[in-house]
Amino acid sequence: MTTTAMAELTMTTTRLVALGDSVTEGLGDPLPGGGWRGYARLLADALGSREQVAFDNLANSGATCRDLATGQLPRALSLRPTLAAVLAGVNDTLRGDFSLPAIAHDLETVVGGLRRTGATVLTARLPDPGLMLGVPDLVRRPLTRRMRAINMILDGLAETYGTVHVDLAAHPALYERRMWSVDRLHPSVRGHHLLARLFAAELAARGFPVRAMPEEEPSGASATAWASARWMAVEGTGWVVRRARDFLPRLGTLVLSEAWHAVRGRTTVLDDRFQAELEPVLRRICLPPA
């Protein structure tokens, strides 16, 4: 090991490793020279100087819970983090092969694997993608059920493994239009700063030292609209096409079922059916039923 590397290791007191999808990757928060920053980098800077806090972002666009468990987790464990942020699940709600047992298994693999190394793990209840997208109720309700189920799994894992758990779903500011990019799935610059502030505040409440809270009104936030529009034009269209190919056929079936039950005033039947599917999943991962 070089002298410089040894000095850096000596000064570093915290290693934050971020696992997740495009939100954690930083999409919506562009850097002046290209690339993305995002809430996880902002959180690392809030915790200490770059000599004190080492940061590794393992997230990649489109990642599902399975991608975190099979691809990102082994890399994270090799880095021996003291603090790990785990934010995933939205992409799973937009998949045709949505499976609660598989999602629960993958999330427990990630959270449990990190906690068993002694790392402090950050988790979060996720906002409702149907509300963020502003879609009609017949489309929104199936997405809401999926997201609610994933959040209940995350709640149980947070209790079982003692994670630092942040309720993003209940924060009203996260549903404000200015907090999201043009595609309404990736936070804007303001949105990333809000996420970083919420995580930093929860860590501070747990006794973790926070050097400085991320700005509430970040400078340069007005550039987000152009950056987001450019991403949507260059890359976002391909993302939409891939999701359409995978998810829209299944979504069509879900919407037809939703409409059939709504006309007959039986929407609660679908809620009960989904709840019945969720409860054995929670029991299998040693969590109390909903």
Show the tokens assigned to 202.
Answer: 């929860």
Looking at the domain assignment, is residue 207 inside a domain? yes
Looking at the domain assignment, is residue 3 inside a domain? no
Q: Identify which has the larger pLDDT, 16 or 32.
A: 16
Domain count, the chain: 1
Which residue, among 167, 135, 165, has the nearest Cα to 148 in the 3D structure? Answer: 167
Vertex 150, ends 30 and 290: CA angle to 5°? Answer: 150
pLDDT at 286: 66
Looking at the domain assignment, is residue 265 inside a domain? yes
Average pLDDT over residues 274-282: 86
> By the 8 A CB rule, do 84 and 121 touch?
yes
Looking at the domain assignment, is residue 9 inside a domain? no
pLDDT grade, residue 174 (50/70/90)? confident
Give the residue numbers spanning the domain of 166.
Answer: 14-286
pLDDT at 100: 94
Looking at the domain assignment, is residue 46 inside a domain? yes
Looking at the domain assignment, is residue 278 inside a domain? yes
pLDDT at 247: 67
For 177-216, b/e burial (b = at least 16 CB within 10 A) is eebbbbbebbbbbbbbbbbbbbbbebbeeeeeebeeebee
What angle in degrees, to the nearest 10, is found between the helix axes of 267-284 and 100-115?
A: 40
Looking at the domain assignment, is residue 67 inside a domain? yes
Show the tokens assigned to 257.
Answer: 């079922």
Which residue, among 87, 92, 26, has the nearest Cα to 64 in the 3D structure? Answer: 92
How many secondary structure helices (H) and strands (E) does the chain include?
13, 5
Cα gap 242→229, rounded to integer Å: 19
pLDDT at 224: 45
Looking at the domain assignment, is residue 2 inside a domain? no
Q: pTM for the whole thing?
A: 0.84
Average pLDDT over residues 152-167: 95
Average pLDDT over residues 9-24: 83
Q: Mind listing the pLDDT tens digit for each residue in 238-275? A: 555 555 566 666 666 766 766 766 677 777 877 788 88
Q: Mind listing the pLDDT tens digit for each residue in 89-141? A: 999 988 888 999 999 999 999 999 999 999 999 999 998 877 766 667 777 78
pLDDT at 28: 87
Cα gap 200→94, rounded to integer Å: 29
Give the CATH number for residue 153: 3.40.50.1110
What angle in degrees, to the nearest 10, is found between the helix axes of 137-161 and 100-115?
A: 30
